[in-house]
Amino acid sequence: MTGMQHMRTMGRMSIRLMAAMMAALMLYAPAASVAAEVEVQGVRLPDHANVGGSDLVLNGAGLRTKIFFKVYVGSLYLPAKATTAQAVLAQSPRRIQMNMLRDLTAQQLVDSLNEGLAANTTDAERAAIKSQIDALEKIMRSFNETKSGSVVTLDYIGDVTHISLDGKERGAIGGDAFNRALTNVWIGAHPAQDDLKKALLGGA
């Protein structure tokens, strides 16, 4: 074989190798798309979310139950993975998301949040953020009712908590102390549900 023939043969082999590599990449592309979501109780959650212009990663997600009812799938998004409440609260922006699995009245939402706040704050701490708690109640009551399939998000961006229902912002409440208390409803010392807290903290 001459030098020219050898070069042509090598060239054809390189082309075939590149074609095989491209085919392999195309074959595995669907698997990569599937890996970009997490499914909990039939709810598909993206593993990333854009909050306040920042790319956040899904830290964890789990099921909230009440007695034997499935209430919602809760998820937590952060700039970087965290396994403790302290590490979560040290990061911003952050998102707590609730994908509803059953219909809830506004009063049920308000009662649940007030119960969680009372369990994770002292009387003095709640007194210091009373105006923000009142504002949260007013926003939640504006929902009237959250239907199964609705999505509630609590986004903490630049010292402000933005509350949205199905992608539409319903109100914003300022203050770091308020958001820390609100976040601790799920990941504090006395969370709404122990196994949900564990799931939100990545199974830690």
What is the reported pLDDT for 68? Answer: 87
Specify the length of the chain in residues.
204
Asked if residue 154 has pLDDT above 60, the reply is: yes
- 86 and 157 fall within a common domain: yes
- 98 and 140 fall within a common domain: yes
Asked if residue 6 has pLDDT above 90, the reply is: no
- 28 and 62 fall within a common domain: no
Residue numbers of the domain that contains 81: 37-200
Mean pLDDT of 43-58: 97
- 136 and 153 fall within a common domain: yes
Query: How far is it, in rounded angstroms, from Cα 163 to Cα 172?
Result: 6
CB 92 within 8 A of CB 156: yes
CB 95 within 8 A of CB 88: no
DSSP 80: S
In the chain, pLDDT over 70 holds for what percent of residues? 82
Pairing status of strand 104-105 against strand 151-157 = unpaired
What is the reported pLDDT for 27? Answer: 44
Q: Residue 185 maps to which CATH number?
A: 3.50.70.10
What is the reported pLDDT for 8? Answer: 53
Domain count, the chain: 2
What is the reported pLDDT for 31? Answer: 36
Peptide bond into 79 cis (omega under 30): no
- 21 and 54 fall within a common domain: no
Residue 114 CB contacts under 8 Å (≥ 6 apart), including other chains: 133, 137
In sequence order, which ranges of 48-175 are alpha helices (DSSP H)?
85-89, 106-120, 123-128, 130-142
Asked if residue 93 has pLDDT above 50, the reply is: yes
What is the reported pLDDT for 37? Answer: 87
User: pTM for this structure?
Assistant: 0.82
- 73 and 16 fall within a common domain: no
Tokens of 33: 């798309």
What is the reported pLDDT for 34? Answer: 39
Asked if residue 21 has pLDDT above 80, the reply is: no
- 21 and 87 fall within a common domain: no
